């Protein structure tokens, strides 16, 4: 598994101890790639070198038919992007970018990512920002520190989104050109460009078997909210097939201003549990404009591009905060099917009941 992070990295340490609890000493915008393998219950970590050699770039260019200038500077993230897309295509799995929430150390992040991979047959790439992992017992000060680190991490997440968009374009350019030429050839001498474009769209839809989706959990939504603020934010570009805002620890009032900046190819889901114990606790924390939480409130659901899903009364949910894994999905096949559809670029609301008075789809 690869992890993208703006945490401080302690290069002389081993295992998960390389990950710090504060932003990178080079600044909160600094991104590092870490390869993680698990042996029994232990994790081994390898911090990837920053830049690729000229020979490494040429080898990638040839192997993956990349239309890139190999005289330019390229980074290890290009190799990782090539490997992940190749793996996803070979194994017929989808990619999920996962942004965790408050109170997650690296072991928590990896265990959640592993659960997502196992439950939904995904390849998960976590973006880990420096949450403290102090637990509710740490109280208000720890929560507010994590909110501060979440805001400081907004540009790092935005940079990561920009890299995803860049590499997706690089990796699919050659394939798109081949499909366009096929559509033109099939038209032969008729010169009907409308039909050529229609055929190209059909071929492209069939060929794009690998979907890239995003899930933000809890305070991870707060990081995304701030990443979307700059007028030229990469996070607001068309990158993902589906975006899931799960148990969002962000204000409900005014959420439409940032949610409507998110572009998706298929669906944007806001998933709500009114009994969520963590968001109920979060609601009571002091701080600037700490109001009812988006993932905890069934009013004011007004973002025009969002599908709001209410799982409050689904069997097995209770007060759960991480209801996409563990006992809630183990005991509720319908809930698991909902997340499977959403996390793989599908339409999760098809099997739900729509409540027009609240603008919400309900799983009961």
- 313-352 confidence digits (pLDDT tens): 999 999 999 999 999 999 999 999 999 999 999 999 999 9
What sign does the dihedral 355-219-259-118 (CA atoms) show?
Answer: negative
Between CA 251 and CA 297 the distance in angstroms is 10
Residue recorded with tokens 């060929």: 207
Between CA 224 and CA 153 the distance in angstroms is 9
In sequence order, the 6+-apart residues with CB closer than 8 A to the CB of 296 are 247, 252, 272, 273, 274, 276, 279, 280, 283
Mean pLDDT in residue range 64-80: 93
Q: Are the C-beta atoms of 132 and 145 separated by less than 8 Å?
A: yes
Terminal C-alpha separation, the chain = 35
* 348 token code pair: 């999760």
Helical H runs in the chain? 54-63, 76-91, 106-120, 139-152, 154-187, 193-207, 220-227, 256-259, 277-283, 327-330, 333-343
User: Considering the entire predicted model, what is its pTM?
Assistant: 0.91
pLDDT at 291 over 90: no
> What pLDDT sits at residue 179?
80
Query: Tens digits of per-residue pLDDT, 247-274?
Result: 999 999 999 999 999 999 999 999 999 9
pLDDT band (50, 70, 90) for residue 225? very high
User: Could you tell me which of 209, 88, 105, 89 has the C-alpha nearest to residue 97?
Assistant: 88
Give the Cα-Cα-Cα angle 214, 19, 143 (nearest 5 degrees). 70
User: Could you tell me which of 211, 168, 205, 210 has the C-alpha nearest to residue 183?
Assistant: 205
Rg of the Cα atoms in the chain:
21
For residue 265, the Cα-to-chain-centroid distance in whole angstroms is: 14
User: Could you tell me which of 220, 299, 307, 304 has the C-alpha nearest to residue 269?
Assistant: 307
Kindly list the structural domains of the chain, giving each domain's residue range(s) and its CATH number in brackets, ordered by start. Answer: 2-169+211-362 (3.40.50)
> What pLDDT sits at residue 136?
45
> What pLDDT sits at residue 196?
82
When mean pLDDT is compared across 25-29, 203-207, 250-254, the lowest value belongs to 203-207
In sequence order, the 6+-apart residues with CB closer than 8 A to the CB of 359 are 301, 302, 308
pLDDT at 285 over 90: no
pLDDT band (50, 70, 90) for residue 288? low
User: Could you tell me which of 112, 115, 119, 106 has the C-alpha nearest to residue 36?
Assistant: 106
Mean pLDDT in residue range 193-200: 81
């Amino acid at each position: 598994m690869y992890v993208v992070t703006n945490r401080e990295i302690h290069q002389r340490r081993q295992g998960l101890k390389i990950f710090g609890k504060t932003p990178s000493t080079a600044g909160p915008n600094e991104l590092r790639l870490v390869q993680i393998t698990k042996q029994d219950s232990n994790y081994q970590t390898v911090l990837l070198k920053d830049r690729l050699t000229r020979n490494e770039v040429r080898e990638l260019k040839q192997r993956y038919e990349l239309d890139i200038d190999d005289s330019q500077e390229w980074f290890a993230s290009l190799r990782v992007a090539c490997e992940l897309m190749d793996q996803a295509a070979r194994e017929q799995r989808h990619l999920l970018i996962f942004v965790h929430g408050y109170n997650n150390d690296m072991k928590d992040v990896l265990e959640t990512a592993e659960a997502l991979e196992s439950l939904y047959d995904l390849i998960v790439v976590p973006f880990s920002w420096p949450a403290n992992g102090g637990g509710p017992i740490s109280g208000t000060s720890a929560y507010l520190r994590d909110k501060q680190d979440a805001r400081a991490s907004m540009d790092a997440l935005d940079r990561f989104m920009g890299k995803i968009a860049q590499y997706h374009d690089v990796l699919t350019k050659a394939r798109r050109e081949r499909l366009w030429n096929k559509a033109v050839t099939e038209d032969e001498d008729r010169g009907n460009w409308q039909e050529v474009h229609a055929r190209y769209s059909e071929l492209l839809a069939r060929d794009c078997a690998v979907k890239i989706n995003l899930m933000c959990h809890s305070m991870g939504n707060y990081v995304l909210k701030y990443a979307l603020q700059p007028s030229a934010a990469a996070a607001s570009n068309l990158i993902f097939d589906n975006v899931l805002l799960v148990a969002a620890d962000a204000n409900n009032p005014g959420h439409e201003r940032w949610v409507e900046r998110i572009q998706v190819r298929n669906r944007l889901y806001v998933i709500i549990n009114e009994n969520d114990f963590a968001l109920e606790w979060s609601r009571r924390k002091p701080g600037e404009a700490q109001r009812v939480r988006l993932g905890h409130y069934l009013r004011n659901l007004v973002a025009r591009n969002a599908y709001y899903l209410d799982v409050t009364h689904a069997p097995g949910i209770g007060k759960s905060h991480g209801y996409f894994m563990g006992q809630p999905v183990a005991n509720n096949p319908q809930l698991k099917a909902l997340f499977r559809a959403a996390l793989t670029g599908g339409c999760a609301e098809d099997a739900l009941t729509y409540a027009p008075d609240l603008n919400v789809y309900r799983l009961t």
